[in-house]
Chain A
Amino acid sequence: MNTFATQLRGELKKMFARKRTYIGFGAFLVVELVIQFLLHLSKPQAWISKMIEQAGYEASTYLSGLTLGLLTILFTVLLLGALYLALVGGDVVSKEVEDGTMRMILSRPISRGRVLLLKIISCAIYTVALAAFVCISAFIAGTIGYGSGGLFAFSQFEKIFAIYDFWPGLMRYLLAIPFLSASLFSVTVVAFFLSCLQMKPAAATIITLSFFFIDSILKEIPFFESIRPFFITGRMATWIHVFEYRIPWEMMAENYAWLFAINGTLLVLAWHVFERRDFKS
């Protein structure tokens, strides 16, 4: 266990020593600040205020850091989250193969399964770190711009409309972090799986992004309503339901079970491919 912990620390050190690992954090921060700035303009602010007031609540109380934080996440997380997770997940094996460091690793008495396990754990940690960063920084940026106040949670696609005071709202907001992480981990796993195949890192990233964008587009087309359960982005969107007054645990558990099964299958396939690959200069 001690050796495993040392190896995992080494893997994380490697990941977080790369400047590119931080691009995702930086990009989210910039986008959050831009969104905050744009929401300060009169039109979008008036639109949000109108929504809250139509529900019979006072806009000044619920136009807050929590509300703006959640709005920012909803606007950005699928697009940017998928981009940066695909970038890191798509690189994690194929870049090492391309650079030749994988041969150096595999000249050591470590099993291939363990190499993959270390890598997927470090990817999972990165996913959680990115999701937590996005949520917390969006909340802080929103609070700086609008101050603290209640949470107005709204999602047209998932049919969610809820209002909370500050503390209950904050609890729901924090509860969303692990669920959002679990959803986003599917992006990481798809990229990781492709990274284990014989392809360039850029190809793994682009195919992952294409897959998720196409999936999310198809999911929204009314003709495909009957097959909506088969779209992975539909399952991933389940995290937003933690903002419902009565959290639909059964439905969420089913969605996460699906995601878990898909992730598990892809990881087994990744392991199978990686075990059988020849690594040669």
Chain B
Amino acid sequence: MVVLEHLSKTFGSRLALNDLSLEITKGEIFGLLGHNGAGKSTTFGILLGQVHPDTGEARINGHSVQKNRAQALRRVGAIFETPAFYDYMSGWDNLSYFVSLTEPVPASRLKEIVEMVGLTDRIRDKVRAYSHGMRQRLALAQALLPDPEFIVLDEPTEGLDPEGIREMREMIRRLRAEHGLTVLLSSHLLSEVEQLCDRVAILHKGNLVFTGTWQDEGLRWRFDIDDWVKAAPVFEKFGGAVEADHIVRFETDRVAEVVGELVRSGIRVSEVARHRLTLEDFYLNRIGL
């Protein structure tokens, strides 16, 4: 569905993106993670034809964004971190304007989307009177018009209250379930990404440091033992790698044998528990923090 091939971009002397290659499959919710300035916005910009890459190419449904932008973006919607609208116009007029840049749609389709995002009562009001949450809903409405197959969501929950965040999350899930939408998402709220995304990519200083499913990255156990120095060769023997906070990662599930060996080595084992890796742990580990 979406292919990024060897994308590189520098702004002046600053390297924003270094040889990024990614593939997003149809119907997938894909998370793009990284600190501010890691290259996420540049990636989105290149994908939408707003930023020219120095090298490489982005393709959507087989169409090159750089060579045939109109065709590539024909069924793409996007939301940016701070959705910008014409404040002096109504929500309805804003939607009509933005959708006209793709193809004219009947008013009934506009109404349907407005209803879906829950803006029916306020859609004729000027956008300057909208709260941040309403602007985000309007942004989602414009991204869903006329009928995208792929949507790019750059910090879609930025500035939303907890209720709004949950609504947005459920909306994204519903769109995927009901319309088979492919979603590329970036967010600083890692718990949101964790709940929503099938796969993630992590960018660090313009470099891709991980892509895939973080849950599969080894099995982790928390050990409460009295001698970590003595235990180190035991863990090593079973291919375990000691991480922070008494966590040991193994590639295979042989914890019973590990515990037996620890006991035989005279180490007192008080507790062993499975450690479920959060995306936050994984992310911080990957970027070396």
Which stretch from A5-13, A52-60, A168-176 is at the chain B interface?
A: A5-13
Q: Which of A7, A13, A276 contacts B101 (CB 8 A)?
A: A7
Complex contact B102–A13 (CB within 8 A):
no
Which stretch from A99-107, A197-205, A249-257 is at the chain B interface?
A: A99-107
Question: Which residues between 1 and 58 of chain A lie within 8 Å of chain B, taking CB atoms?
Answer: 2-3, 6-7, 9-10, 13-14, 17-19
Complex contact A106–B71 (CB within 8 A):
no
Complex contact B84–A99 (CB within 8 A):
yes
A278 within 8 A of B: yes
Chain B positions within 8 Å of A7 at CB level: 100-101
How many chain A residues sit at the interface, stated as a range, is 20 to 34
- The distance from the CB of B156 to the nearest CB of chain A, in whole angstroms, is 14
Complex contact A280–B41 (CB within 8 A):
yes
Of all chain A residues, the one with the shortest Cβ separation from B99 is: A108
Bound together, the chains give a CA A17 to CA B126 distance in angstroms of 11
Chain A positions within 8 Å of B71 at CB level: 109
How many chain B residues sit at the interface, stated as a range, is 35 or more
Chain A positions within 8 Å of B98 at CB level: 104-105, 108
Contact string against A for B residues 4-17, beta-carbon threshold 8 Å, 1 for contact and 0 otherwise: 00000001000000
B142 within 8 A of A: yes
Complex contact A281–B81 (CB within 8 A):
yes
Which stretch from B25-33, B88-96, B114-122, B202-210 is at the chain A interface?
A: B88-96
Complex contact A106–B80 (CB within 8 A):
no
Complex contact B69–A111 (CB within 8 A):
yes
- The distance from the CB of B1 to the nearest CB of chain A, in whole angstroms, is 16
A227 within 8 A of B: no
Complex contact B45–A278 (CB within 8 A):
yes
Bound together, the chains give a CA A238 to CA B152 distance in angstroms of 52
Question: Which residues between 223 and 255 of chain B lie within 8 Å of chain A, taking CB atoms?
Answer: none
Complex contact A279–B45 (CB within 8 A):
yes
A221 within 8 A of B: no
B104 within 8 A of A: yes
Complex contact A108–B73 (CB within 8 A):
yes
Bound together, the chains give a CA A269 to CA B3 distance in angstroms of 33
Which stretch from B47-55, B173-181, B262-270, B281-289 is at the chain A interface?
A: B47-55
Bound together, the chains give a CA A280 to CA B70 distance in angstroms of 19
Complex contact A280–B103 (CB within 8 A):
no
Complex contact A280–B51 (CB within 8 A):
yes
Chain B positions within 8 Å of A104 at CB level: 78, 80, 83-85, 98, 142
Q: Which of B49, B80, B88 contacts A281 (CB 8 A)?
A: B80
- The distance from the CB of B50 to the nearest CB of chain A, in whole angstroms, is 4
Bound together, the chains give a CA A73 to CA B136 distance in angstroms of 47
Chain B positions within 8 Å of A106 at CB level: 48-50
Complex contact B50–A110 (CB within 8 A):
no
Chain B positions within 8 Å of A103 at CB level: 50, 80, 84
Complex contact A18–B45 (CB within 8 A):
no
Evaluate whether A109 and B88 lie within 8 angstroms (CB atoms) in the complex, with A13-B97, A17-B93, A280-B45 already known.
no
Chain A positions within 8 Å of B93 at CB level: 13, 17
Of all chain B residues, the one with the shortest Cβ separation from A275 is: B52
Chain B positions within 8 Å of A6 at CB level: 100, 104
- The distance from the CB of B177 to the nearest CB of chain A, in whole angstroms, is 24
Chain A positions within 8 Å of B89 at CB level: 13-14, 17
Bound together, the chains give a CA A106 to CA B69 distance in angstroms of 10
Chain B positions within 8 Å of A9 at CB level: 100
Complex contact B102–A109 (CB within 8 A):
yes
Of all chain B residues, the one with the shortest Cβ separation from A99 is: B84
Chain A positions within 8 Å of B11 at CB level: 278
Chain A positions within 8 Å of B70 at CB level: 109-111
Complex contact A17–B88 (CB within 8 A):
yes
Bound together, the chains give a CA A108 to CA B70 distance in angstroms of 8
Sample 17 A-B pairs with CB under 8 A, ordered by A number: A7-B100, A9-B100, A13-B97, A100-B82, A101-B84, A103-B84, A104-B142, A106-B48, A106-B50, A107-B48, A107-B77, A107-B78, A107-B152, A108-B98, A109-B70, A276-B52, A278-B11
- Of all A-B residue pairs in the complex, the 10 with the closest CB atoms, nearest first, are A100-B84, A108-B101, A109-B73, A107-B78, A279-B50, A10-B97, A109-B70, A278-B51, A110-B101, A101-B84
With A17-B89, A105-B101, A110-B101 already in contact, 19 other A-B pairs whose C-beta atoms are closer than 8 Å: A2-B104, A6-B100, A7-B101, A13-B93, A17-B93, A18-B88, A19-B88, A100-B83, A101-B85, A104-B142, A106-B48, A107-B76, A107-B77, A109-B69, A111-B69, A111-B70, A278-B50, A280-B42, A281-B82
